[in-house]
């Protein structure tokens, strides 16, 4: 018996040594200067993917990333809106630090001729990787500004932020970009416009009435000026919105507009083809590719090969077409023997936009699974996003990580993999993911995560070092409309202040480890450490606030508004800014070789 017992112990010891060697072999395979491919969806819900529990949408290629790589189950976007989330992603910093978080109601750029954008002083991972000799490309959506003072200074352009090559949209995809899809501006501002016109009309009629009855003498000249100014404003607004898609929805290659307005015909195929060709051009050199999909932001679209093929209408068709594109990227990596030399990451910039409903009543927004709320809110449905990483031989296949992580973590992760140094002159809020991905540590380095609604601190997440609990407090919450709904359907998105929110004193407290759906706020009666938890979080808020410095507001009204002298136009305004150097007949079929 002693002999058998000793033999079993020897076998166990040998097994452990073999396992340890195997683990060391995996970990040591982290070759220097790997290729980096970062795939970002737009407004994709975490519940839209098979690997996160969806059973009706077909996403086999994205699911493959999970099966052969790592799934982050608590991956958090730094903002619940496109522009600030993408700024945080590129810089590894909360958008409040770069001025990319708005104090006004509008939290994103809407016009190509706005003067705001990602400041040149900000350091992006693309800048640092380019300095390390990487070829860098951004294909797809940018949404971080274009010009500052003239229509060709390109101060905020991707090529000014470390990308060698750009093919895509300067701003974003909107309903107004596609004929027959309605207007996001009318949806969000219809009541305000009608009210303003009514007030102006009533004021003018009242002035005219009191003048004619002799109660108050109003100079006709003043009335005439009021009418003229009102008429001019209405004409300018009508001209701008009538020509919106010509002025704001265009496709660029580097600094040149190649299609104005944008055509949705085979658009995903064109983006995919550009990505595949970029990989092909850099087979023997390190590269960074950011493929920033237009899917599934409205206006929704899909090519004829995907239209009507899903179980969820046009939204489902768009998701499945994006999945096809991800498959094309994975296939070309395998065919060129680059898969073991390449880190692939897939995410969404924020949660699904659940208020998106077409004029015919079809749901054009996605599914956030069990999580409350959606885009523009800091409920989990707005900020908990897919986080999938694949790197065969370096990170273990089929791994699930339940710790809090952030899209800001990509910055330090890729910087360190490329052998570059993190900037020492600024705070980087992200943390290197590789120790967590490779199992060298089991706890996230994020003890606290701060959730901003535009520039206003909305909520805080705390994961204590000695506990499995994940506490989350809300200082205010959006007022859903209708009240019993899960979003802000009357205004199209939720806003961050005034009558649009309810403030809480004491703050609402949840334990996400027990209540991920954020259904039942805790109270001093249901949580004995209620005030102790709040005290720790408020001290963390104080320390965080002290680390912030005043910076120019890139999303001020002055920086947001359309400036005609900044307008990009491939012909002239008198020719309706029309050109098409990207016609379909000149496009060969997309191949992955």
Active site residues: 82, 143
> For 536, what's the count of Cα atoms within 13 Å in the CB-facing half-sphere?
15
Contact of 188 with 491, CB cutoff 8 Å: yes
DSSP string of 457-495, one letter each residue: EEEEEE--TT-S--EEEEEEEE--BSTTSSSBTTTSS--
Collapsed DSSP state (helix, strand, coil) of residue 259: strand
Q: How far is Cα 357 from Cα 458, in angstroms, rounded to an integer? A: 27
DSSP symbol at 363:
B
Furthest-apart CA atoms within the chain: distance in Å = 118
CA pseudo-torsion sign 54, 60, 62, 65: positive
What is the layout of strands, in order, in the sheet containing 135-141?
399-406, 70-76, 384-390, 342-348, 35-41, 287-292, 135-141, 165-169, 251-253, 256-260, 579-580
Instruction: Identify any residues that bridge with 138 across adjacent strands, giving them in sequence order.
Output: 166, 290
Contact of 278 with 287, CB cutoff 8 Å: yes
Helix (H) or strand (E) run with residue 331 in it:
helix 313-335
Instruction: Identify any residues that bridge with 452 across adjacent strands, giving them in sequence order.
Output: 457
Q: How far is Cα 484 from Cα 477, in angstroms, rounded to an integer? A: 14
Neighbour count for residue 370 (Cβ, 10 Å):
14
What is the layout of strands, in order, in the sheet containing 501-511?
448-453, 456-462, 471-478, 501-511
């Amino acid at each position: 018996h002693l002999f058998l017992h000793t033999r079993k112990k020897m076998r166990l010891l040998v097994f452990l040594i073999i396992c340890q060697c195997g683990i060391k072999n995996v970990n040591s395979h982290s070759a220097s200067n790997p290729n980096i491919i970062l795939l970002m969806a737009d407004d994709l819900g975490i519940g839209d993917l098979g690997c996160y529990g969806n059973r009706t949408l077909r996403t086999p290629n994205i699911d493959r990333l999970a099966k052969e790589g790592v799934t982050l189950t608590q991956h958090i976007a730094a903002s619940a809106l496109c522009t600030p989330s993408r700024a945080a992603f590129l810089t590894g910093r909360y958008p409040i630090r770069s001025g990319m978080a708005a104090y006004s109601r509008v939290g994103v750029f809407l016009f190509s001729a706005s003067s705001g954008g990602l400041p040149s002083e900000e350091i992006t991972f693309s800048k640092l990787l380019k300095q390390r000799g990487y070829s860098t490309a951004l294909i797809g959506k940018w949404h971080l500004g274009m010009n500052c003072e003239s229509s060709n200074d390109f101060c905020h352009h991707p090529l000014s932020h470390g990308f060698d090559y750009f093919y895509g949209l300067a701003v974003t995809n909107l309903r107004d970009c596609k004929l027959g899809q309605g207007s996001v501006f009318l949806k969000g501002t219809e009541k305000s416009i009608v009210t303003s016109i009514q007030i102006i009309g009533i004021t003018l009629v009242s002035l005219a009435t009191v003048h004619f009855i002799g109660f108050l003498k109003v100079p006709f000249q003043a009335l005439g000026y009021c009418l003229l100014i009102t008429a001019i404003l209405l004409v300018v607004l009508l001209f701008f919105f009538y020509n919106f898609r010509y002025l704001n929805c265009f496709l660029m290659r580097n600094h040149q507009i190649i299609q104005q307005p944008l055509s949705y015909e085979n658009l995903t195929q064109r983006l995919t083809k550009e990505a595949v060709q970029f990989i092909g051009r850099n087979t023997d050199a390190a590269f960074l590719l950011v493929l920033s999909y237009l899917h599934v932001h409205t206006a929704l679209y899909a090519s004829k090969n995907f239209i009507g093929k899903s179980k969820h209408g046009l939204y489902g068709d768009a998701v499945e077409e994006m999945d096809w594109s991800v498959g094309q990227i994975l296939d070309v990596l395998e065919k060129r023997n680059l898969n073991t030399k390449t880190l692939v990451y897939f995410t969404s910039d924020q949660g699904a936009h659940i208020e998106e409903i077409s004029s015919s009543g079809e749901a054009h927004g996605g599914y956030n699974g069990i999580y409350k709320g959606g885009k523009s809110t800091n409920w989990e449905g707005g900020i908990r996003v897919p986080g999938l990483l694949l790197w065969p031989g370096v990170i273990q296949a089929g791994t699930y990580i339940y710790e809090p992580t952030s899209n800001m973590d990509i910055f330090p992760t890729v910087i360190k993999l490329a052998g570059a140094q993190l900037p020492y002159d600024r705070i980087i809020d992200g943390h290197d993911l590789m120790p967590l991905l490779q199992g060298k540590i089991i706890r996230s380095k994020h003890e606290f995560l701060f959730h901003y609604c535009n520039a206003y601190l909305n909520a805080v997440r705390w994961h204590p070092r000695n506990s499995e609990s994940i506490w989350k407090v809300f200082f205010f919450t959006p007022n859903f409309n209708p009240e019993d709904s899960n979003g802000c359907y009357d205004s199209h998105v939720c806003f961050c202040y005034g009558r649009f929110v309810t403030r809480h004193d004491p703050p609402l407290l949840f334990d996400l480890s027990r209540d991920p759906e954020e259904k039942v706020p805790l109270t001093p009666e249901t949580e004995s450490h209620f005030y102790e938890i709040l005290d720790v979080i408020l001290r963390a808020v104080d320390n965080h606030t002290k680390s912030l410095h005043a910076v120019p507001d890139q999303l001020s009204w002055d920086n947001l508004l359309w400036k005609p002298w900044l307008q990009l136009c491939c012909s002239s305004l008198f020719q309706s800014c029309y050109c098409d150097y990207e016609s379909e007949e000149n496009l060969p079929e997309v191949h992955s070789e």
